[in-house]
Amino acid sequence: MTTYIGLISDVHATPAPLQEALSLLRNEGVDRIFCAGDIAGYGEALDETVHLLEDHDCQSILGNHDIWWLDKAVEGEYSRVVNYFNNLPTYLDTMIEGKRVYVAHAHPPYSDTGSIRLLDENGAILPEQKEVWGERLDDFAYDVLIVGHSHQVFAEQLKNTLVINPGSTKFNNSCAILRLPDQTVQWFALSNKPLVKVWNWGRQFQ
């Protein structure tokens, strides 16, 4: 049996590309959808964004923008969003089709900053970064690691772990489908725009 998992991240309070991604993934017949955090930030339509994620039963985690938003939230305002964020985990750890899958916003175990950045400004793999993260994940006992935060789009085997960043629906115009147990990834471009492999290169190591 094959399980299809829709992957999104860094939706940043912008409903239009998120809605497109969710509709596309459902039309492709995904069994589950994971969102790797940063639901808030940059955009202005957080309530609608949360509504979409809830309606599509997305399994989401907190990102740094979500934590920052919660820290500034005024009591009594946006109570639905506050409730939603307060009930999100900082990571997901699950077994699917015999594969151990872990979802973290920036990197495991549950960091929301200091992300896994493997690409240069042109979207090419940086061998030294791949080596660094391969070493850091050498004892990581998972088959698949899904991350966000960096606004980079990649699926790379680092030692024993396939590391996937689906990119931002808002900035990279991207989402993905992971097939398990064979661990293949299919990419999709959104909004009739080209898929941008790297966005905001100037902040590459933050």
Q: List Cα–Cα distances, 72 to 65, 67, 77, 121, 129, in angstroms.
A: 11, 9, 11, 33, 34
User: Would you place residue 75 in the very low, low, confident or very high pLDDT band (cuts 50, 70, 90)?
Assistant: low
pLDDT for residue 204 is more than 60? no
Q: What fold characterizes domain 3-200?
A: Purple Acid Phosphatase; chain A, domain 2 (3.60.21)
What are the extents of the domains in the chain?
A: 3-200
* Cβ atoms of 13 and 45 closer than 8 Å: yes
- CA-based nearest residue to 91, from 151, 147, 167: 147
Q: What is the pLDDT of residue 74?
A: 72
Using CA atoms, how far apart are residues 151 and 66, in angstroms rounded to an integer?
Answer: 16
